[in-house]
A and B are shown apart, each in its own frame.
Chain A
Amino acid sequence: MHAVTIAAYALRESLRRRVFAVVALLTLTFLFLYRLGVRKAFEEAESAFPPVGVEPDEFVGATLMGMAMFAILFLGTVLAVFLTLGAVRGDAERGLLQPLVVRPLGRTTFLLGRFLGAAGVCAVYVALVYAAAVLLTGDAGGWWPDRIIAPAVELAAAVVLLVALSLLGSVFLSSTANGIAVFMLFGAGLVGGLLGQIGEAVGSPTLLTVAERTSWALPFEALYQDSLQRLTLEAGGVTRFAVELGPFGGGQEFGSWLPIWAAAYLAGVLALAAVGFARRDL
C-alpha cells in the first residue's frame, strides 16, 4: 500500500516537474522526423536499392524500424534517468527524502515505490512510442514487423532494467554522477552491439565473443538486440543479411534464457539497491 503511495507520488512529481513535457516534445519531434523519413525512404526504395535478392520494402521497413527502436530505447533511457537519477542521494541532499523515510513505510518499500512508479511510466511510454512507430512505418510503406508484441515487451523490459540501474546508482552517487554513469552504461551496451556487428561483417570471433558477453553483462542491450531480430524473424537470404547490418547494432537472438536472466538481473539490481539504501546514513 505504501509502495503504491510512493509510486503515485513519484508519478505526480514527474508530471509537475514537467519531465513529461520535455520528453513529449522530444518524442513528437522524433515521430515527426520519423514519419518524414520513412515516407521518403519508401518512395525512393525502388529506384535507390534493390540489390539482387533483397526485398526493398522489407529492407527499408526493417532498417527504419530498427532505427526507430534505437531512438525509442534512447528516449526511454532519458526518461528513466530523469525519473530516478536523484531518487535517493540527490533527494537526501536536497532534504526531500528524510521526511518521507522516517515514516513507518520502510526504506525498501520506498525504493520499491519509486521503482514501480518510474518503471510503469517508462514501460508505457516505450510501448506507446513503439506502437506509433509501427503504425507510421506500416502506413508509409505497407511493411509490418514479423512480430509486433514481443519486440515492444522486450524494449520496455530493457528500459525497466535501466530504471533499476539508475535507481541503484542513485543510492550511491550524486544526481549528476548517476546520470553520467547510466548514460555511460547505455553507451557501453551500444558499443558492445556495434562490436558484434563489426565482428559479424569481418568474421571476427573475438569481437563476437566480446559483444555477446557485453550483452549478457548489460542485458538491456541483449533485450534490445533480441527485439530487433524479431522484427524480421521470417526474412531470409540476402534480405536478412542486409537487415542484420542495421545502423545501431544488428539484431541477435539470445534464446529462452534471456527473459530469465533479465528477471534475475533486475531482482539482483533491486536487491543491491535495497541493501545499499538500508545501510546508508541519511
Chain B
Amino acid sequence: MAARSPTTTNVTAFAAIGLQKRYGSIAALRGIDLELAEGELLGLLGPNGAGKSTLVKIGCGLVRPSAGTVVVCGAPAGSPAARGAIGYLAELFRFPGWCTADEVLSLHQRLAGSDGGERERAELLDLVGLTEARRRKVEAMSKGMQQRLGIAQALVGAPRLLFLDEPTSALDPAGRRAVRAILEEVRGRGIAVLLNSHLLSEVELVCDRVAILLDGSIVAAGRPEELMRPRGVEIETGEGTRVFEGVAREDVPRLVTEVVSAGKPVYSVRVLRSTLEDVYLDAVGEEA
C-alpha cells in the first residue's frame, strides 16, 4: 500500500519509489512507495524486522538499495547534497566517551559545514535540556542524556529532514515527554521528521501521518485520525454504562433521545474510536 502517491517536488523532503532491499535471500524491503513533505512528521511503525531501520538507513546513505529510487530534499539519497540536508539519530549509536557534549557538537558542526559556532551549540544543548552538561564527558552521562545529546547532534547544521530511529527507546516517561516537546519544536521550525518508534502512544501524539510496515511492505498508512475507525458510542445512565456498537457520532442525538424517552437519565456520552494500537494490531496481526 502506498503511503501517498510519490511525486518529487521541491516541497518533498523524502520520497521512496519502488524501494527494495535484499540481504542475500532475505527481502528487507519489498517495493516501498513513501513520501514525506517538508515540515511533516511521519511515524514509521512495525514489528522488529519489518524494515523500518533499513528504510531509514537507505535514506541516510548508510545502506544501498537493491532497487528503486530514494530522493532526499531533491537529491539522490547518499549523495553529498542529500547528506548535507539530513540529521540522523541511529537506533544504536555511541559517541566517544572522552568527548564532552560541546566537543561532540563541535565535531559535527565541522563535518556538517555548519557556521553556527558557539551560539548554535548552546541553542541545541538548551533545546535538549543539556545546558548544564555542556562540559560533561559522554562517559559520565546517563543513557537518557546521551540520547538527548544524540538528538542535538542530529540537529546540527539545521537539517531539512531528520531521521530518528527509536529516539526514546532509552528514556524514562519524563524523558519521552521531553523528546515529544523537542519534536513539536522541530516541526515548528519546518523540519520534516521520519520517526521510527515502537511506542504507539508517542507516535499517535506527535505524528501527522503514520505508516505501518510489515515484512518490508507498507500495510497501512494515513493520518492517525483517519486510521482510527469509530467503534461505537458509550452512554452512562442511571442504570450504568451501555455501549452501542456499530454507531457513529451522527447517531448520538437519536440514541440520547431514545434513552431519555425510555425514562433513563443520561449523565455522559462518549464516542468510541479504535486506538492506534488497535489499528496497528489489525494491520500486523496479534502474533506480530
Contact = CB atoms under 8 A, between A and B. Distances in A.
A282 B93 contact: no
A16 B98 contact: yes
Interface string B253-275: 00000000000000000000000
Given A102-B86, A103-B111, A103-B112, A95 B94 contact: yes
A248 B83 CA distance: 50
Contacts of B95: 96, 99
B113 A99 contact: no
B174 interface: no
B88 A98 contact: yes
Contacts, number: 65
A104 B90 contact: no
A234 interface: no
Contact of B92 (A5, A17, A95): A95
A282 B62 contact: yes
Given A102-B61, A104-B80, A9 B107 contact: yes
Contacts of A2: 110-111
A101 B62 contact: yes
B20 interface: no
Interface string B77-90: 00011011010111
Contacts of A105: 111
A102 B83 contact: yes
A43 interface: no
B169 to A, nearest CB: 13
B88 A102 contact: yes
B62 A5 contact: no
Q: How large is the interface on A (under 10, 10 to 19, 20 to 34, 35 or more residues)?
A: 20 to 34
Contacts of B94: 94-96
Among the interface residues A99, A100, A105, A106, which one has the most CB atoms of the partner chain B within 10 A? A99
Contact of B60 (A12, A16, A102): A102
**Chain B interface: which size bin?**
20 to 34
Contact of B80 (A12, A94, A95, A106): A106
A94 B93 CA distance: 7
Interface in A80-112: 94-96, 98-106
A280 to B, nearest CB: 9
Nearest to B82: A104
Contacts of B23: 281
A105 B92 CA distance: 21
Interface string A156-200: 000000000000000000000000000000000000000000000
B57 interface: yes
B116 to A, nearest CB: 14
A236 B86 CA distance: 67
B20 to A, nearest CB: 14
Nearest to B85: A104
Interface of B: 23, 57, 60-64, 80-81, 83-84, 86, 88-90, 92-96, 98, 107-108, 110-113, 150, 153
Interface of A: 2, 5, 9, 12-13, 16-17, 94-96, 98-106, 279, 281-282
17 contacts: A13-B96, A13-B98, A95-B92, A95-B93, A95-B94, A96-B93, A96-B94, A98-B62, A99-B150, A101-B61, A103-B112, A104-B80, A104-B81, A104-B112, A106-B80, A281-B63, A282-B57
Given A95-B93, A101-B62, 9 more contacts: A12-B98, A94-B94, A98-B60, A99-B93, A99-B95, A99-B108, A103-B83, A104-B111, A281-B62
